Amino acid sequence: MDQSPAIDYRLLVDNLTTAILLVDSNLNIFYLNSSCEALFDISLLRAAGQPVMNLLHLPTDEFNTYEALQNTLSTGQPYTRREATINVNFKDIHVDYTASQLNAGKSYHPLLLIELNPIDRMLKISKEENLIQQHQVARQLVRGVAHEIKNPLAGIRGATQLLARSLNDSQYAEFTDIIINEVDRLRNLADTMLGSRQLPSYELVNIHEPLERVRSLIANQTKKKVKIIRDYDLSLPEVMADRDQLIQVMLNISVNAVQAMMENKEFFAEHQPELILRTRIQRLVTINGVIHRSVVRIDIEDNGPGVPEEIIESVFYPLVTARAKGTGLGLSIAQNIMHQHNGMIECQSVPGKTIFSLYIPWESNHVAK
Ligand SMILES: Nc1ncnc2c1ncn2[C@@H]1O[C@H](COP(=O)(O)OP(=O)(O)O)[C@@H](O)[C@H]1O
Ligand SMILES: [Mg+2]
């Protein structure tokens, strides 16, 4: 028999890519779908009951949103607003939205249905693809240079050892030792520039486990001067990942955060350094052109002075650093590892709040090796 399946409308609404908000007659939020949760980075649980104006209206906006919504609610006349600005986590986002009246039945007050379409999304996707490509070219360049540096080093080291032996004079040993030590230092640097040579070995990982490893490493290293706050969603699914490489990614980012907070003396004197480790499920994330329904998100947040403005756009590029002793390799290596996991790292930063977010798809694709 040919029966179509019964449709679960809630499921349908939650799978729409359009963000949907339902607002009651007091202009308080009644419901939002998954896309809307993702757009405003807020959960239904937290949003329900809040005035919709908190999400939809900026104090600097001259348009009278309140009046327009009220008008639609009472007259039933829909209205559309183009290129409205909303603010999510300190970032301005532009949306087109339409508000219309929704009558749920005679005995109910009418509701407002608001459909939102972010318009920067297309822009952002192409920008991301560009960034990823440029990043890969830069990585290859760095690896090429590292190879060229590394090749002659073994020869120099061997020849110096021979020289030391044939001179057999402690007067010169000091100089040959300097050569050997400096050669070793260069080789280590070149190895870091090359990154891991091993292919990732994937297994199912509960990301809280590597995260906890990193937490205890950082806690030991900073001798409790940094307050570490855990905000974990323990119901997260496991991901296919290389555990050791995940630790390296989380460590590179956390060490940067700690350095930013502790090395800035003025900042350190006035603030209690805080590192927040947060885990969440995030819906509808585009990574390298692929839309994922649901991914695991790990935020590593600090309250330090923020990424210097002049490098924020290029912070993931190799050799970009704002620290005197930095190599500028930590974030580039971390981003590279995440790409191998079909994931990515994003950064948002203002003074007092810097968040590096790791996104790892969990639903599909890696075949365990
Ligand atoms: N949490 C952070 N707060 C402020 N600045 C940061 C943070 N994370 C990274 N940065 C900046 O990004 C730069 C690049 O980081 P990275 O690639 O790890 O190289 P390195 O640590 O060797 O400088 C750092 O020099 C620093 O200026
Ligand atoms: Mg670093």
Q: Report which ligand 1 atom has the smallest distance to the Cα of 300.
A: 1
Task: Compute the distance from residue 320 Cα to the ligand 2 centre, in Å.
Answer: 10
- Nearest alpha carbon to residue 218 among 298, 297, 274: 274
* Annotated domain spans of the chain: 9-118, 125-194, 203-361
- At the fourth CATH level, the homologous superfamily of domain 203-361 is Histidine kinase-like ATPase, C-terminal domain (3.30.565.10)
Q: With 0-12 CB in 10 A as exposed, 13-18 as middle and 19+ as buried, what is 132?
A: middle
- Nearest alpha carbon to residue 115 among 147, 72, 156, 177: 72
For residue 256 the two structure tokens come to 């940067």
Task: Compute the distance from residue 289 Cα to the ligand 1 centre, in Å.
Answer: 27
Q: Report which ligand 1 atom has the smallest distance to the Cα of 330.
A: 18
Residue carrying the six token digits 């695991």: 296
SS3 202: coil
- Nearest alpha carbon to residue 19 among 40, 49, 47, 50: 40
Task: Compute the distance from residue 354 Cα to the ligand 1 centre, in Å.
Answer: 11
- Nearest ligand, CA of residue 264? 1
- Determine the Cα angle at 214 with ends 333 and 206, to 5°: 90
Compute the residue count for the chain: 369
Q: Is the dihedral of CA 55, 61, 66, 69 positive or negative?
A: negative
Residue carrying the six token digits 């939002």: 32
Task: Compute the distance from residue 301 Cα to the ligand 2 centre, in Å.
Answer: 15
Could you read off the pLDDT tens digit of each residue along the chain, which spans 369 residues? 556 677 788 888 888 888 999 999 999 999 999 889 988 988 888 899 999 999 988 888 888 999 999 999 999 999 999 888 888 877 788 888 999 999 877 777 889 999 998 876 555 555 666 677 777 777 777 788 888 888 889 889 999 999 999 988 888 888 899 899 889 988 888 887 777 666 778 999 999 999 999 999 999 999 888 999 999 999 999 999 999 999 999 999 999 999 999 888 887 788 899 999 999 998 888 888 788 888 999 999 999 999 999 898 889 988 889 988 888 889 998 998 898 899 999 999 999 999 999 999 987 654 433
Report the chain's C-alpha Rg in angstroms.
26
Q: Report which ligand 1 atom has the smallest distance to the Cα of 354.
A: 1
Atom 8 (ligand 1): residue with closest C-alpha? 256
User: For residues 314-331, b (16+ Cβ closer than 10 Å) or e, as one string?
Assistant: bbbbbebbeeeeeebbbb
Pairing of strands 274-287, 227-231: parallel
Q: How far apart are CA 156 and CA 134, in angstroms?
A: 34
Q: Kindly report the CATH number that applies to the domain delimited by 9-118.
A: 3.30.450.20
Task: Compute the distance from residue 228 Cα to the ligand 2 centre, in Å.
Answer: 19
> Residues lining ligand 1, CB < 6 A?
252, 256-257, 260, 302, 304, 306-308, 315, 320-323, 326-332, 354
